[in-house]
A and B are shown apart, each in its own frame.
Chain A
């Protein structure tokens, strides 16, 4: 039972990281209607920047996180401006391929700067772990922080999209870009802002991910990126609570599957559950079903 609980906590913690990444995916998809395959690599860049800030420049972890958020925000806006904006009118497949190109680009630039050898990421959270049940259940501080941070982000984002002017503009653009433009919303600025927020979240996710799983390589971001994309679809792409729910469920399934069924099959299980869910709810758990017009 206690072992199960500890797996469950690990699952929720990993799932929270997926959820944070999935939020970025989902927001960008909702507004720009594109699959941003480079999102996973922004995570990796965020983790590397934080690593460099702490290891090479001796900055305190908190400053490292802030720095990586700033760098990723700028990077996200730069990618949007340089690679995706010229393709605003192009087919979605063309944008997808460009996103793949950006993903290769980021990985290879990281390879040139930081090299191929995995870096050991030292955790940014300093305090010890929480022990319950007379020391039988040990919850690491990383897991706790990850869960708390993701809940905060989710609440913050819900408030942001619900209450602020920019947030409302984002929802309007995702609903109907043409109509939003006619109502005087600056679509380019809104999309740019979405990329900025998504990338800042990716930076946080990168730091949290590497605090729990410390090997940092130029390809570190790709698998979590794909899983988070799966999570976003799982919960209903474009929906903020959906991304959160999808991410956490995915993390739990992955960790429990690896623990109780087979380490090899953990990933396969995640994808199998996704397929089954999509068969019964074709637009994800919390997604709105699309109505077709003739």
Chain B
């Protein structure tokens, strides 16, 4: 029998980890041992895990530093919320599951379109210039959202741009005040939806990485010129990674948005984008299961530090700096490289690729 390769095993473990975590959480809810605040965090955690995986696709796999990922999340969130509100007016007895599913799809589609439009100018730039332009787009999206108004007249969805609000209208989306009167999805349903979304995201991203396209994306990241000279269409593959990443972020946004009854666009500012970037970097650039763990842990960390109240963000900041410094100490780095070299050598030895005493 052919031995399963290493990537397959890692991917399998990643899926298993998510599934086990889900069932542990479910059984904790059923047993009633999960605290109320923790339960309220479940859906946002799922959303941020998806955000971290999708940003890892842009930053880790495609190698483009994006500082505007929350912008896509906000597009997904608000288009999903508005769609869900409209759907409820058109089909009053629609189930929560259907509403969530369709909202997530709509959020994904809108974010995908935005990702494509924004990708055209953004991907022409390199490095830090690309970073600042993604940041700029994130802020532009937020400013524009502050001027949008959506409301329902019967079953018709109405939209206006820039006009001052009329207090008589019950808005679905009210400019700076954000989405209001959202018929939120109950936590139980949202959590199952979030779990499925995480699995779908994993499936999409892991398969993309393993595919021909994924190898082309990574080749373009590692050496643009070399990849181009062997016929890799850089723009196409960078665009593919960017739009898929934007689409997943939009889906995460819709899931996140429908967990709250009101939601302001301030939630998706630069700080939110940076927070997701922190998850990705601490989890390990390009490392998908690392992103999942760090997103889950770091999202809950400020909550767990609540007992320290005023000091909690201070502790978070110090932890962040210390972790970055320690993981980058020459001593620690050398140790990690040595470990991975040793395991690599063992594996090659086992596979019969090298014999004892061979120079490696």
A residues within 8 Å of B by Cβ?
Answer: 29, 35, 37, 83, 86-87, 89-91, 93-94, 96-98, 100-102, 104-105, 107-109, 111-112, 222, 226, 229-230, 233, 237, 262, 264-265, 267-268, 271-272, 274-275, 278-279, 282-284, 292, 294
Contact = CB atoms under 8 A, between A and B. Distances in A.
Given A86-B328, A89-B330, A226-B270, A268 B144 contact: yes
Given A264-B143, A268-B143, A86 B325 contact: yes
Interface string B126-142: 10110111011101100
A97 B277 contact: yes
22 contacts: A86-B328, A87-B325, A93-B59, A93-B285, A94-B281, A96-B281, A100-B278, A101-B318, A102-B317, A104-B313, A104-B316, A104-B317, A108-B314, A230-B132, A264-B147, A268-B139, A268-B143, A271-B139, A274-B136, A279-B124, A282-B124, A282-B125
Contact of A101 (B126, B311, B324): B324
Given A86-B329, A97-B320, A278 B129 contact: yes
Contacts of B125: 278, 282
Given A83-B325, A274-B136, A93 B281 contact: yes
A285 to B, nearest CB: 13
| Secondary structure type dominating chain A contacts | helix
A280 B327 CA distance: 39
Nearest to A103: B317
A2 to B, nearest CB: 28
Given A89-B330, A98-B325, 13 more contacts: A90-B324, A93-B65, A93-B285, A94-B281, A104-B314, A105-B317, A108-B314, A112-B314, A230-B136, A233-B132, A265-B147, A272-B136, A282-B124
B282 interface: yes
Contact of B128 (A90, A237, A267): A237
Contact of A278 (B133, B144, B329): B133
B37 interface: no
Nearest to A234: B132
B139 A267 contact: yes
B143 A265 contact: yes
Contacts of A267: 139, 143
B321 interface: yes
B151 to A, nearest CB: 19
Interface string B87-129: 0000000000000000000000000000000000100111011
A83 B274 CA distance: 18
Contacts of B186: none
Interface string B33-60: 0000000000000000000000000010
Contacts of B311: 112
A192 B278 CA distance: 26
A105 B318 contact: yes
Nearest to B120: A279
A100 B271 CA distance: 10
Contacts of B65: 93, 96
B276 to A, nearest CB: 12
B133 A275 contact: yes
B340 interface: no
Contacts of B324: 87, 90, 94, 97-98, 101
B282 to A, nearest CB: 7
Contacts of A222: 270-271
Given A105-B321, A292-B225, A97 B282 contact: yes
Contacts of B327: 94
Nearest to B319: A101
Given A101-B324, A112-B310, A226 B278 contact: no
Interface in B276-322: 277-278, 281-282, 285, 310-311, 313-314, 316-318, 320-321
Nearest to A284: B129
B314 to A, nearest CB: 4
B324 to A, nearest CB: 4
A137 to B, nearest CB: 30
A222 B277 CA distance: 17
A97 B278 contact: yes
Nearest to A87: B328
Contacts of B310: 111-112
A108 B318 CA distance: 11
A233 B134 CA distance: 13
Nearest 6 Cβ contacts at the A-B interface: A271-B136, A268-B143, A101-B320, A104-B317, A105-B317, A90-B328
